[in-house]
Structures are given as structure tokens and as C-alpha cells.
Structure 1
């Protein structure tokens, strides 16, 4: 087997994160994508001792476990890679993948409580970030998601099963509107063009909708006509926020140079477990609202009653977890590096009448040292890269008897748990929560206890 060879094989083991590993002879063949039992044709990208990296060219035969009905974009869109697998089987696969990661790091001897499925495995997303482009070079304007394995081609995903009809209505109406206006989309190669992204957010429990059109400043276009078009749409949720974000950044990411409010307010509200939260256009909020309620309930059960104790909520974002836990603590301190999120967190605490919550802006590694109180319990909910080693050292240095770690990436989670073990913390119990049905991702909640 050498570079540029074309090979055919049956996919063996699915690994966490949407990759697969197949043993061919004495060589491990690693591939992005692939479902156990599929027969594929692939091109060899590179080889090294005992390993090879390949890229799928063609799906020759479906897997016997692919028995579920899919959407019309499946295999073209890069989103729901395991939509064809029945949901119960998806949960079984994810549970095993997470446990394999724990065992690889010699993490065992804890109570494993399995995996909890999402209350809804379809129509569950409360946020979508769409990109303007075209499906083929010089084709008509499209608005949607990147095609699988493509950096440029955009597919208008009007049949997506992860979002409800409100998202589809806004998506299709927007692409029709801007097609008529013949405005150029922004091309990342030469940084020329106008239309960049459309971000739609929904308060699932409050029935509030936000539409945020993102453009460069290269065209002087009056967005009021677009606003009027949106307000005439028939949607289940009320459109309470229409925004125009100007983004002249070179990166292929939604960032804000200027925010213009075209209609209503610059936030929507959502309710989680009886608490209200303001969600601004750029603040982090779990994308599966009903799943988030289950996740936070699970976390609260892991924590138990800490009515007379101090809780640290690290990487606190807009303060959802800290506030949900506030009823079971004497004091909650939240630390988050993004200042806008901290402002929102303190506003949300005030909105909910919580006087025992305080959110502080700063880097976790530096800020934890400055807090006056020592924690009885620490909640850690870091971004995908996990917790920095220095932060693990400082967090452990507080000597908290318990740590609850919520992770959206079990690959970095298990590495962090090994580090915590070096500071005297052992894993007491673990439970997975599937926040992202039909995708390769899963949340994991771990309770650590200080043993030495």
C-alpha cells in the first residue's frame, strides 16, 4: 500500500469523533467517516509504519446497520453522518466509544451510568449558522451548509431534519430574496463580495426567534426590505430580533465589527428548568434545549445538596450551569474569559433573582488564584480543547473534595482526568448525555473525588 493507491475495503471500527479504523493485513487504515459494515473505495493519502490515512472516494455498499430513513441531503451534506443508523444503535455506539477512551487511559473502577438519549433525536437544534455561496462554480446563489469534504461548495439544506420548519422557512425565503437582488456572496479566496452568513436562533420554550444576517461592508445595501420580508413570514415562533452584523474579518468565522438592530431587540430569551436566560447573537448556549435540561438535571444529581457550601463554575459561559446549581449552594462563583458572556451571566442572575451568584471575567488559570473563598465543589465545563495543564494544577490546588467535569469532547476529557489523578482525584462516576443525535458527538459528565 502506497500513496495515491485506490483501495476497497469493509469499514471495521467506528471511533469517537467521526473517524473509523480498519485493519488491512497488518496495517491500521484510518479514515474520516465510515460506518461499521460499509464497503468503500478510498484513496491512500499517506502511509507510515503500520498505519495509513485514506480518504473515501465512493460508498460502494451500505452497512447492514443502516436501516433508518434519511433526509434528501444525506451523503452530500457534512452534517448528520450517522443519520442512517437507528437512534438506539447510535447510543450504543457512542457509549462504547467513550468507554474505550477511558480504558485506553487505564481509567476504570468507577460507577458507569450508561448513556441518556436526547428527548428529541430530530428537530432539536436551536441554532443554525448558514453560509452563502454556490453549489457549483458560477451557479446560482445558495445558502446552507458545506458539502461533505468541500471547502467551497454550499448546499441549501431545505430538507434538514435537525431543525424545525421555522429555520427552513427563514432559510429558503432568504436565499430567494438575495437571489432576486443579485448581490454577490463573499469569497474567502480573494476576500471580495457581500453576503457571508445567516445565523438563526430560537428560544424553544419561549417561542422567540432571532435572525442575524452577516455581510461585509463592501456593498451599500438597505436591509430594511429584507427585514420587511422576514416579518411577513408565517413562523411558529415570533421574530423578536432581526440583526445585521457587519464582518470584514478575513477568517471564515462569524465575528462582529458592527451590529445593527433592524427590528426588536439584540437578544432572545430562553427558559431552562424554571430559569430565564438572555441569549445574545454571539453568546454560547447549548444547541439542544431539551437535551440541556436533561444534562443540567443530571449534573445537579451528581452534585447533590451543597446548601451551605461554595461552588466554583469554571468556563461558565453565560452562567447557565452555575445558576441552575445556585439553589443547592450558599455561593456560586463563575469564571469565563469572554467578557460579553460574563456581562450576560450577571444580567441573567439578576433576571432570575439569584443573589448568591457572581460571575467574573478572566482566564481560569489566573483568576482562580484571586478569589477570596475556597470552593467546596468545583464544576468544570471547558471548550473542546479541554483544561490547560496549569489550570488543572491550580484547580486541584484548592483541595476541593469534589469536582464535576462536563465535557463535549471525551478525547480531551480522559487526558485531563489522568492529570487530575496525578493530583489525587479519582473518577467516582460517569454518565453520557447525547446532546447531538445523528452526529458523532456526545457530552460526558464525570464526578471526581479527592482521595489523597
Structure 2
């Protein structure tokens, strides 16, 4: 894949841009195998490749420039707005909506936020597309100053982009680099974006987490479901459960499945998906994964962990090592922390590992490992 923004030096986020895709995959496979070289006897499953372009289902675009000529993309040197609205790794359905958003910025008189001057209102737009083409749009504002104008002109935007299912305003008053704030104001009737993945009917709320690459997420959940079907545990925990993908994928109507997620929004979305699927033996609770495990009276047969880049950390690793859980499925977006966490759990041996290329054109990837108690 070639990218005009990368070639011009305007955006270098995709560090492997221009590297032939088979070479990218080989490099990632070698990196993963090298990090897990201390573990003998691993059965390496075939790598799951992605589309090289048009794979991202979510775009986090910083707004710069002016009301009349906004930039949609990122901030360059001197906090200058750089327009990358035709980004090639975004799904085409996301790229198609950016011109309408640029027009809406002018219509609603949304002044882009000037970082050095700390002036203006619109900081970013966050757009997510589901597999059925529906969209969630979130305006990140410094204050409520522009809220009335957004409400006034929103019908025009909905008429121009009928795929918009959820529109919100996120308030981020701090001048910090944190992209979004805690308060979310829903402007549409629904606050749930349907996110079907394979045979799962998942749902996403504005501040919930969802995998960036829908096709690879389907393969990831499918792998966990295949292992759970083979192992047939009576009970499963899905720690860092997000919108419930792993929990719902491994539910079969018989086993007890419990998802633990710190985001209350994600928990509500997961509960809605479980109700829609009629899965009465699947529960979701809001809480910290480590604290929940440490306070639990007993462990399930199978624990699924899908932590952020920092990994599960020493406390949860120690708990898993000392627990009675027979199996762990570890889904990792950072192979370095996966390796360090495995070193802290010597009784849980990685027997099968698969690399899934969640992030083509970058050095990042997803790995899923089945750990079995020695």
C-alpha cells in the first residue's frame, strides 16, 4: 500500500507504510516467536492476515484550521492542523462522511480548537462504522458553547448522512492531550450502535471499547470460541470484557459466563447484547478485573483476559498462577507485555498461539494464546 500523506511526510503514523505486506507479516511473526522463544512446544497456528487498506472501523480525527476551511486529521509541527481525511487505512464508509462533517463545521459555526492559543471549541470528531454501515459520530468540544448550534443544525446532517445512528457531544474542557472527557451528551434517540461480528450481535456505547478491525475481531472471537468448545469448561470469566465479544462468543447456553469490565458504558452494551441473544447464563459486571479476581471466593475453569497494552500486570498474573483455573485464553495487543506476564505464570503453559494482523501498515498486531496448567 502507498499513501500520499506518508510520502509527503504529513503523516508517519503507519510506520510500515510502503513495506510489502507479506514482509510486514513475516516481521511480526518473527517478533512474536522471538518474544515467546523461552516457551518450548508451542503449536503455532497460521497467521490471520487482514486487508492491507480500508480496515479501520474507527477514526479519531483532530480538527484544526478554520471554520471555513477545517482540517480533519491530526496536528503537525507547531500544533498546525494536517488534513488526512482520505486516509487509506480507514474504512471507505468513514472516508465518505468526512466532507459532510467539514460542511457541518461551517454550517454550525464550530470553531476548531487552537492548541497554542487555547481558543476555540471543536477539538476532534470520533467516527465509528459498524459492519452494516451504520455510524456513531462524537463531537469532542471544549465546552457547551456550541451545543445549541449543533442541536439546531443536526437534522440537516442526519438528512445528508442517513447512516448516522448515534450522535453525541463529548466534553473535554482540559487543555491536556487526553482526547476525550468523561461527560457525554447524547443527541440522537439511540445511544447504542449495533456492531454485528460474525454471528454475534454486539452493541457499542459512545465510551465503550471495540476492536479496531472488525474482520480480525471476528477471527479473534472465533478462535476463543473454538478453544472453549473443545475444552468445554463449565464456567468462564471474561476479564477486560469490553462490549462482551469473548464472553458472548464462548457462551453456549449451558456454561456460566461472567464478564468484568471497568467501563460502565461497555457493561450496559454487553448486557443489552446478552438480552438480545437470550443468553440468561451470561452476566456482566462493572469493576476492576484484578480487584474482582483477588476478592473472588473461587476461580472458573477458563479465564479469558484481553487487557490493554500494559498487560494484566503482576497482581493478576500472581492470582492466576495461584488459582485453580485450568485454562487461560490470553488475547494481547502487545506481545512484550504478553511475554512478561507469561514469565510470571510458569504453571500456565502456552500450548497454542496465533498471530492476527489487527493493524496492517504498523508494527502492532494481536496475538491469542491458549495456556494450560502444567
Aligned mates of 2:253, 2:190 — CA distance in 1: 33
Q: What is the 5 A alignment of 1:26-425?
A: 68-74=1-7, 75-103=9-37, 106-118=38-50, 120-134=51-65, 141-147=70-76, 150=77, 152-179=79-106, 183-204=110-131, 206-217=132-143, 219-220=145-146, 222-233=149-160, 238-256=163-181, 258-307=183-232, 309-327=234-252, 330-421=255-346, 424-425=347-348
Work out whether residues 305 and 329 of structure 1, in 8 Å CA contact, stay in contact via their aligned partners in 2. Answer: no
Work out whether residues 337 and 361 of structure 1, in 8 Å CA contact, stay in contact via their aligned partners in 2. Answer: yes
SS for the counterpart of 1:217 is coil
Aligned mates of 2:245, 2:276 — CA distance in 1: 12
SS for the counterpart of 1:441 is coil
Q: Which protein shows a greater Rg?
A: 1
Structure number with the bigger relative contact order (C-alpha 8 A, sep ≥ 6) is 2
With over 3 angstroms needed to count, the CA separation of the structure-2 counterparts of 1:73 and 1:122, relative to structure 1, is same
What displacement does 1:342 show?
1.9
Work out whether residues 213 and 359 of structure 2, in 8 Å CA contact, stay in contact via their aligned partners in 1. Answer: yes
Deviations 1:334-387 (A, max 9, x none): 112222222222222112111111112222222124445531111111111001
Work out whether residues 224 and 249 of structure 2, in 8 Å CA contact, stay in contact via their aligned partners in 1. Answer: no
Work out whether residues 311 and 329 of structure 1, in 8 Å CA contact, stay in contact via their aligned partners in 2. Answer: no
Work out whether residues 427 and 448 of structure 1, in 8 Å CA contact, stay in contact via their aligned partners in 2. Answer: yes
**Runs of at least 5 residues in structure 2 that lack an aligned partner in the other structure:** none
Work out whether residues 323 and 349 of structure 1, in 8 Å CA contact, stay in contact via their aligned partners in 2. Answer: yes
Work out whether residues 267 and 279 of structure 1, in 8 Å CA contact, stay in contact via their aligned partners in 2. Answer: yes
Work out whether residues 206 and 265 of structure 2, in 8 Å CA contact, stay in contact via their aligned partners in 1. Answer: no
Structure holding more helix per residue: 2
Aligned mates of 1:419, 1:321 — CA distance in 2: 24
Q: Report how many aligned residue pairs link the two structures.
A: 372
Structure holding more strand per residue: 1
With over 3 angstroms needed to count, the CA separation of the structure-2 counterparts of 1:84 and 1:139, relative to structure 1, is farther
TM-score normalised per structure 1: 0.76
Aligned mates of 2:268, 2:240 — CA distance in 1: 14
**Among 411, 423, 427, the residue aligned to 2:350:** 427
Compute the RMSD of aligned alpha carbons: 2.5
Aligned mates of 2:289, 2:108 — CA distance in 1: 47
Aligned mates of 2:78, 2:371 — CA distance in 1: 41
**Among 428, 443, 452, the residue aligned to 2:366:** 443
Deviations 1:406-449 (A, max 9, x none): 1000011100010011xx12221211001111111100011111
